[in-house]
Amino acid sequence: EAGVTQSPRYAVLQEGQAVSFWCDPISGHDTLYWYQQPRDQGPQLLVYFRDEAVIDNSQLPSDRFSAVRPKGTNSTLKIQSAKQGDTATYLCASSLGVAEQFFGPGTRLTVL
């Protein structure tokens, strides 16, 4: 069984540029999470979905970040105008309901 996959693995941007991250969860998992992990810190939740519905996006910087999961499977996280403070690893995870979460390899973002 394939795990959670993410792309790209790395991204380097200038401030002000836009970037999108893509996540493919484990097949059959209805819940999908996006976390941000700054260097040398634990991950922090940005947003999570059950099927195609956003359950909690209260920690997503709504002025520049957006996330969608239109068919309840794959998901895209987008940063409209990146800032240096966005430098971090972006992790996607999935689970079947309220259960163990499985994480993808992450996308390491550097904003110059």
Partner 1 sequence: GQQVQQSPTSLVLQEGENAELQCNFSTSLNSMQWFYQRPGGSLISVFYNPSGTKQSGRLTSTTVIKERRSSLHISSSQITDSGTYLCAMEPSGSWQLIFGSGTQLTVMP
Binding footprint of partner 1 on the chain (CB under 8 A): 31, 33, 35, 41-45, 48, 50, 55-56, 91, 93, 95, 98-106, 108
* In the complex, least distance from residue 67 CB atom to partner 1, rounded to whole angstroms: 14
Q: Looking at beta carbons only, is 2 or 98 nearer to partner 1? A: 98
Q: Looking at beta carbons only, is 1 or 100 nearer to partner 1? A: 100
Q: Looking at beta carbons only, is 11 or 91 nearer to partner 1? A: 91
Q: Is the peptide bond before 8 cis (omega within 30 degrees of 0)?
A: yes
CB of 1 within 8 A of CB of 26?
A: yes
* In the complex, least distance from residue 52 CB atom to partner 1, rounded to whole angstroms: 16
Backbone conformation region of residue 105, classed left if phi is above 0, alpha if psi is from -120 to 50, else beta: alpha
Q: Looking at beta carbons only, is 37 or 80 nearer to partner 1? A: 37
* In the complex, least distance from residue 86 CB atom to partner 1, rounded to whole angstroms: 18
Which residues are CB-contacts of 34 (< 8 A; sequence separation ≥ 6)?
A: 23, 45, 46, 47, 48, 67, 75, 77, 90, 91, 92
